[in-house]
Amino acid sequence: MKLFPQGAALLVERIGGATAAKATFTLLEPPRLGDHAAAFAFALGVFSRGVAGFAPAAVGHRVVHGGTRFVAPTLVTPEVEVEIDRLSRLAPLHNPGNLAALRAALAALPGVPQVAVFDTAFHATLPPRAYLYGLPLAYAQDGVRRYGFHGPSHDFVSRRAGELLGRDRSELRIVTLHLGNGASAAAVDHGRSVDTTMGFTPMEGLLMGTRSGDIDPGVVLYLLREGLSVDEVDDLLNKGSGLKGMSGVSNDVRDVSAAAAAGGEGAAAALDVFAYRVRKVVGAYAAVLGGLDAVVFTGGIGENSAALRGAALAGLEFLGVTVDEARNARGETTISAEGARVAVLVVPTDEELMIADAAATVLRASHEES
């Protein structure tokens, strides 16, 4: 379920069946919803009125951080609920909200199975050389390591890339680029995530809408010594940096692009850094994968900004990555040049479908075991 100021998007998965229905509702007067319980109750009301015979067999929840405990979609039990709460220390901006929504669903739909689908699970296949930081190993044993996020999105678009290329994902070396207000890349080697840019938290990696991405840890120490509090540094790096902080305009790439076109130096620099970091990661992941078969763009920026797609891949012809400018401008699914060694694709992500499929799979498995 997603609720937007402009409307609500709904994916209803017919659990155990072969079909799914997706409907969009436009809310003419979006209500003020004070908490997750109110939001969930409102959504149930909308869905009940809008979908004949609406009776969910299960509820799928996106949970950002699963730590090392949860490496696959999981049926929620009281013990799982406690563990998700415990993992809030690793994702204080995300897991508490995820847990609040889960508890709202448990209260509103008693007896209906709840399935947690973890952002981190797709990256559970990272090898130690990719997930370890240069710290004493005792810290990794305490959970301080790379986890990666946007898992359902990277999973979906890498699968879809295989379908579009007429090959199984297990045959391909793919770099997936989820570029939106949050941005991350993943190296997918024959269906397995082997590296990703987000780390211990979703702050690491690429430049984002309001997040700094990669930054020298010494900068954090400098800011603290300059008198900023821990909370102020947290707020700066999470909410006041990235495209918004650099441009001084907005976290929306459309606003930043307009400001750059009008001569804004900060906006132009922000776009240049954004594209440069993506380009650098594609090159690095080509080395990790031993070559490339496909590069896949997704997310709000990845799907809609032809200019940033082109800028991000400029100069990578030596890797076999060549973008056809006309195809890119038209927003076609395949934007690589004819005959290019590496396919470049634009694939709309569908995290809701991945979560619904995961819920269906877990529900079927639980029925088979019982």
Positions marked catalytic:
119
CB 142 within 8 A of CB 243: no
**CA–CA distance from 300 to each of 151, 303, 309 (Å)?**
16, 5, 12
How many CB atoms are located within 10 Å of the residue 303 CB? 17
Contacts of 123 (CB under 8 A, 6+ apart): 146, 147, 148, 149, 151, 154, 186, 193, 196
CA angle 65, 66, 69 (to 5 degrees): 155
Which is nearest to 363 in space by CA: 62, 98, 17? Answer: 17
CB 359 within 8 A of CB 59: yes
Q: How far apart are CA 221 and CA 230, in angstroms?
A: 10
**CA–CA distance from 210 to each of 6, 169, 203 (Å)?**
22, 33, 10
Contacts of 298 (CB under 8 A, 6+ apart): 153, 157, 176, 177, 178, 179, 346, 347, 348, 349
State which H helix or E strand residue 278 sits in.
helix 265-289
Q: How far apart are CA 358 and CA 352, in angstroms?
A: 10
